[in-house]
């Protein structure tokens, strides 16, 4: 009995030491490296500011972004209208602020959508291998053989206008990328002993994939997703510019550019600020994403 108790104490002691010596989590280590990277921190700060604008933009806007008044059309930037007014007399500064939530929302939602589907497809392909793998990855190859923006506008043509459709179109075109990344990550860990152990004790395939494998490959997915947001913001703007984005009078940066382009010579200021905002947002996510990648794997630094 005493012997047993002693053993138990030893076991507890061992447990405690395990807790103490537990290595820092990968995310914590990533964050520590990331903090040293000024460009990445700057990107993160800009992202946080953009998120703030996205949430409170309509409250911060000095004018109603959707209120048009033809008698106020084409006022160049001045004290009342910092970025000027557009062809319908709407305040461009207010519309730029209001457009932030659309771009960020579509960007995040499109990435979430393609990440979800891409992860499931990539996991199934990588985990089961064989014919399943072949069929899924061939389908992904087919999607990759159409330039993404062309596929996105074809999808928009088929689905019709609207934000929800834009999310589907932009998200769908990047599914193959996530599927590929997840598949190769799964292939690299699925032969590990812990996966075999999980199988032996009778876990279902779904549980093994989602509970045992995916958490171990999540960091590379996070990096790709961050960079994916910048692509999604660019694609959203491109669809808007081509007139396939939001319905009027909603403000969206690409749509603002598309509608104002006829006034390129008479009122160039209408075209400067929405594009500048797109560039800033994309740059921020690129800087942050690059920083994340470097923090994760310094070897991949480009």
Partner 1 sequence: MLKYIGKRLLMLIPVLFGVSLIVFFLMRVCAPDPAPIVLGQHATQESMDAWRQANGLNDPIVVQYIDFIKGALTGDLGTSYFTKAPVTEEIMARFPATIELALVAIVLASLLGVSVGVVSAVKKNSIFDNGGMLLSLVGVSVPIFWLGIMLIILFSGTMHLLPSSGRIDPALRPDTITGFMLIDCLLQGDMEAFWDALRHMILPAVTLSLYSMAIIARMTRSSMLDTLKQDYIRTAKAKGISDGKVDIKHALRNALMPIVTVIGLQLGSLLGGAVLTESVYSWPGLGNYTVQCIMKSDFPVIQGVVLLIAVIFVLMNLLVDVLYAFLDPRIKYAKKEV
Do the Cβ atoms of 114 and 172 come closer than 8 Å? yes
Do the Cβ atoms of 233 and 282 come closer than 8 Å? yes
Q: How far is the CB of 160 from partner 1 (least distance, A)?
A: 7
Closer Cβ to partner 1, 215 or 243, answer by number: 243
Closer Cβ to partner 1, 1 or 158, answer by number: 158
Q: How far is the CB of 215 from partner 1 (least distance, A)?
A: 30
Q: How far is the CB of 37 from partner 1 (least distance, A)?
A: 13
CA gyration radius, the chain: 25
Cα distance between residue 146 and residue 287, in whole Å: 28
- In the chain, where do the E strands start and end? none
Q: How far is the CB of 158 from partner 1 (least distance, A)?
A: 4
Does the protein bind partner 1 through residue 213 (CB under 8 A)?
Answer: no
Do the Cβ atoms of 74 and 271 come closer than 8 Å? no
Q: How far is the CB of 224 from partner 1 (least distance, A)?
A: 15
Six-digit token pair at 224?
Answer: 């790709």
- Going from the C-alpha of 191 to that of each of 130, 131, 185, 196, 213, the distances in angstroms are 15, 19, 11, 7, 11
8 membership: H or E segment, kind and range: helix 2-21
- Contact characters 135-174, partner 1, x per CB under 8 A: ---xx-xxx-xxxxxxx-xxxxxxxx--------------
- Contact characters 228-267, partner 1, x per CB under 8 A: --x---x--xx--xxx----------x--x---x--xx--
- Judged by the rule CB under 8 A, the positions of this chain that interact with partner 1 are 138-139, 141-143, 145-151, 153-160, 230, 234, 237-238, 241-243, 254, 257, 261, 264-265, 268, 271-272, 274-275, 278-279, 282-283, 286-287, 301-302
């Amino acid at each position: 009995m005493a012997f047993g108790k002693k053993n138990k104490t030893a076991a507890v002691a061992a447990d405690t030491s395990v807790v103490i010596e537990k290595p820092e989590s990968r995310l914590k280590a990533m964050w520590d490296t990331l903090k040293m990277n000024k460009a990445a921190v700057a990107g993160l700060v800009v992202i946080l500011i953009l998120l703030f604008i996205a949430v409170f933009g309509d409250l911060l806007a000095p004018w109603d972004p959707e209120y048009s008044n033809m008698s106020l059309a084409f006022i160049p930037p001045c004290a009342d209208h910092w970025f000027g007014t557009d062809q319908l007399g709407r305040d461009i500064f207010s519309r730029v602020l209001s457009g932030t939530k659309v771009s960020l929302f579509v960007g995040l939602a499109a990435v979430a959508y393609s990440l979800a589907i891409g992860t499931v497809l990539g996991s199934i392909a990588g985990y089961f291998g064989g014919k399943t793998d072949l069929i899924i990855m061939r389908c992904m190859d087919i999607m990759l053989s159409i330039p993404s923006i062309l596929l996105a506008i074809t999808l928009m043509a088929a689905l019709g206008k609207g934000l929800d459709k834009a999310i589907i179109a932009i998200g769908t075109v990047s599914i193959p990328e996530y599927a590929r990344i997840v598949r190769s990550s799964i292939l690299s860990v699925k032969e590990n002993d812990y996966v075999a152990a999980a199988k032996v004790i009778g876990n279902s395939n779904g549980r093994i994939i989602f509970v045992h494998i995916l958490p171990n490959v999540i960091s590379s997915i996070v990096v790709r997703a961050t960079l994916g947001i910048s692509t999604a913001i660019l694609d959203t703007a491109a669809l808007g510019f081509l007139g396939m984005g939001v319905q009027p009078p909603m403000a969206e940066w690409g749509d603002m550019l598309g509608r104002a382009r006829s006034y390129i010579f008479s009122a160039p200021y209408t075209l400067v600020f929405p594009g500048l905002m797109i560039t800033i947002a994309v740059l921020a996510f690129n800087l942050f994403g690059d920083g994340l990648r470097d923090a994760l794997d310094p070897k991949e630094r480009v």
